[in-house]
Every structure is written in structure tokens, then in C-alpha cells.
């Protein structure tokens, strides 16, 4: 973790209602995906009573204490500005501290995107242990808790298997490359994304999935903060391939003996139940 120190100062408010330093430490911090950080402040109310404090993140109120705020490890890539405010009972105006800036970046050396505090792969899984060649490639399709790769399109040797086993996706059946794993339903729940529909076309479509910190930035978004979740597709048999109108990607979490839970993108981020014997693409995460 790299930190850059800068000069600290105290904001002294003296407007009849409050006379107190309300400063946060003036440090700019760069975090890698999945790291947390606690911002500490100076509390020295010398001439005010009934002081109330609050914290702002990019202008919105967040939960902290009078003396600190912890930036959670689930932040997506982006730049976040924190301000500590204070006011005295009976006053309407908050007085601001100096700003504190935190930048969350992708993990060094990992070809992925930080979303929801996890590094998500930019590519679908191809053969077990490998990624597809490009972000746009479909990769291979997998039945729930199976490490057998099926082609995304065309006829393939397929025997519908009635999968009836009371188990989440086992680690031994993880088709992701080394160092990567399949997402759980909790990983999906932690996503706070801005999904941009870049399709569908007559044949297929894509969603471009980006950090919520970039919602206000006009399209096209910074590709280092986005991944394309492809395709709108799944298959249920040897000759059955469906583009559909939304993204389907397995998670490791089962719903019942015969039904698994999958990531769903149809203009929002959610999950849905699907028959375990169907096959879907897989998008991996890196802890």
C-alpha cells in the first residue's frame, strides 16, 4: 500500500455556533482492490458544546464515528473523497474538515477489474484452467458442479444429466485458471455495478459492467474499470443453444439438489435459479 503524506491543517470554525477543529488527517492513500483503511480525525472541541459529527463520501453521508471512518474492503476501483463535518446543537450549517482522498486501484500483476472489492476476470473460462482469447469470446459452457467443457455454439455430444446432488460447486471441480475461483452468490450480492446494455443485436448481445464510482462519467467508460460480461446465452441440450436477452453466469451456490444460482444481468445485477443440468459460461474472481 502506497501512501503520500501532505501537510495537515485544522479547519477552525467560528461562526457563533461552533468553535472547534474538525480536521481529518490530510493524507492521500492508494489502496489495492480488497484493502480497507481507517481515516482518523482530530477531536479537540474547546469552545463548543453539543457537537455532532458526520462523514461524507463523495458528498453522500456514510456511517462513521466522531473520530474515524473505515473505508471498507468492498470498494470498487475509483477515487473517493471523504470529509468530516461538525456542528453544534441549534445550528443548521455543517462545518467541513479538510478533504481526505482514497484511490482504489486494480491489484498489480492481475489481469482483472476491481468490482465490489474483488478482482473479476475480463474473460470467460474456455477449456478448464484457461481463459478465452479475448473479452468478446464466448468461451466454453459448463453444467453446475461439472468440469466438462462444452462448446458455446453448434452441435456437441451432450447427454442430459439429471444432477441430483445436495452440494454447492466443489473446489475440485473449479474450471478457473490457477489463482482464480468461481464466484459465490455472496460475491454477486456484493457487486454494486452500473450495467450498460451494449446490445443485443439480432444474433447476440453484451453487457458492459463497470464500477458504480464511474456512474457519472459519460460513455465510453474507462476500460480499466469495466469488463464485458458475455454472452446472452446458455444451452440445455446437444442442439439447443439460446442467446436469450440477458447474461447467464454460474455461481458456486446451489438453490436445491437440482437447481443452482447464477449471476443475472438484464440491466441490473441480481441472481436467479436455473436447472443444474443446463450449461452456462463462467466468469472467475481472484481473492
Stronger pLDDT, 118 or 198, i.e. the higher one: 118
- Average pLDDT over the chain, rounded to whole? 74
Strands 100-105, 247-254: pairing kind:
unpaired
Q: How confident is the model at residue 243 (pLDDT cuts 50, 70, 90)?
A: low
Indicate the pTM of the whole model: 0.75
CATH superfamily of 2-105: Immunoglobulins (2.60.40.10)
pLDDT value for 215: 35
Residue range 164-190: mean pLDDT, rounded: 90
- Of 94, 93, 27, 29, the C-alpha closest to 56 is 94
Average pLDDT over every residue of 114-122: 85
pLDDT reported for residue 271: 67
- Cβ(114)–Cβ(106) below 8 Å: yes
In this predicted model, which residue has the larger pLDDT, 33 or 91? 33
pLDDT band for position 276 (cuts 50, 70, 90): confident
Segment among 5-19, 47-61, 175-189 with least mean pLDDT: 5-19
Residue position matching grid coordinates 468530516: 84
Percentage helix, strand, coil, to 5, in the chain? Answer: 5, 45, 50
pLDDT digit string, tens, across residues 197-229 = 444 443 344 555 555 443 333 333 455 566 555
The share of the chain scoring above pLDDT 90, in percent, equals 24
* pLDDT confidence tier of residue 153, bands split at 50, 70 and 90: confident
In 9-105, beta strands by DSSP E: 12-14, 19-21, 27-32, 37-40, 51-57, 60-62, 68-71, 78-88, 95-96, 100-105
Burial of residue 219 (CB within 10 Å: 0-12, 13-18, 19+) is exposed
Q: What pLDDT is attached to residue 124?
A: 87
What are the residue ranges spanned by the domains of the chain?
2-105, 112-286
Report pLDDT digits (tens) over 50-88. 778 899 999 999 999 888 999 999 888 888 999 988 888
% residues pLDDT > 70 (the chain): 63
- Classified as helix, coil or strand, 286 is strand
Q: Is 220 exposed, middle or buried (0-12, 13-18, 19+ CB in 10 A)?
A: exposed
245: pLDDT strictly greater than 70: no
Whether 64 contacts 40, CB under 8 Å? no
Nearest alpha-carbon partner for 111 in 12, 24, 33, 190? 33
Closest CA to 233 of 214, 212, 248, 219: 248
Q: Provide φ and ψ at 244, rounded to 5°.
A: 65, -165
**What's the CA gap between 89 and 53, in Å, rounded?**
11
Closest to 250 (Cα-Cα) out of 169, 156, 149: 169
Q: Are the C-beta atoms of residues 200 and 243 closer than 8 Å to each other?
A: yes
Amino acid at each position: 500500500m502506497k501512501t503520500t503524506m501532505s501537510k495537515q491543517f485544522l479547519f477552525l470554525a467560528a461562526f457563533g455556533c461552533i468553535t472547534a477543529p474538525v480536521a481529518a488527517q490530510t493524507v492521500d492513500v492508494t489502496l489495492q482492490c480488497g484493502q480497507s483503511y481507517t481515516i482518523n480525525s482530530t477531536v479537540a472541541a474547546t469552545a463548543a458544546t453539543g457537537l455532532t459529527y458526520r462523514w461524507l463520501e463523495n458528498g453522500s453521508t456514510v456511517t462513521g464515528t466522531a473520530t474515524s471512518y473505515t473505508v471498507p474492503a468492498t470498494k470498487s476501483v475509483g477515487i473517493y473523497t471523504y470529509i468530516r463535518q461538525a456542528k453544534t446543537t441549534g445550528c443548521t450549517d455543517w462545518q467541513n474538515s479538510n478533504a481526505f482522498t482514497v484511490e482504489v486501484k486494480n491489484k498489480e500483476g492481475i489481469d482483472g477489474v476491481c468490482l465490489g472489492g474483488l478482482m473479476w476476470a475480463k474473460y470467460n473460462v474456455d477449456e478448464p484452467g484457461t481463459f478465452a482469447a479475448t473479452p468478446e469470446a464466448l468461451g466454453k459452457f459448463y453444467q453446475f458442479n461439472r468440469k466438462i467443457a462444452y462448446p458455446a455454439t453448434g452441435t456437441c455430444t451432450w447427454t442430459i444429466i439429471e444432477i441430483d446432488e445436495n452440494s454447492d460447486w466443489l473446489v475440485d471441480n473449479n474450471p478457473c485458471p490457477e489463482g482464480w475461483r468461481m464466484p459465490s452468490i455472496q460475491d454477486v450480492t456484493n457487486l454494486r455495478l452500473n450495467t450498460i446494455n451494449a446490445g443485443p443485436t439480432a444474433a447476440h448481445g453484451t453487457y458492459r459492467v463497470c464500477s458504480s464510482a464511474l456512474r457519472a462519467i459519460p460513455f465510453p467508460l474507462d476500460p480499466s474499470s469495466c469488463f464485458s460480461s458475455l454472452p446472452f446465452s446458455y444451452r440445455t441440450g446437444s442442439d439447443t443453444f439460446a442467446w436469450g436477452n440477458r447474461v447467464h453466469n454460474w455461481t458456486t451456490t446451489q438453490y436445491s439438489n437440482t437447481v443452482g444460482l447464477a449471476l443475472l444481468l438484464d440491466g441490473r445485477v441480481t441472481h436467479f435459479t436455473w436447472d443444474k443440468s443446463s450449461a452456462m459460461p463462467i466468469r472467475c474472481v481472484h481473492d
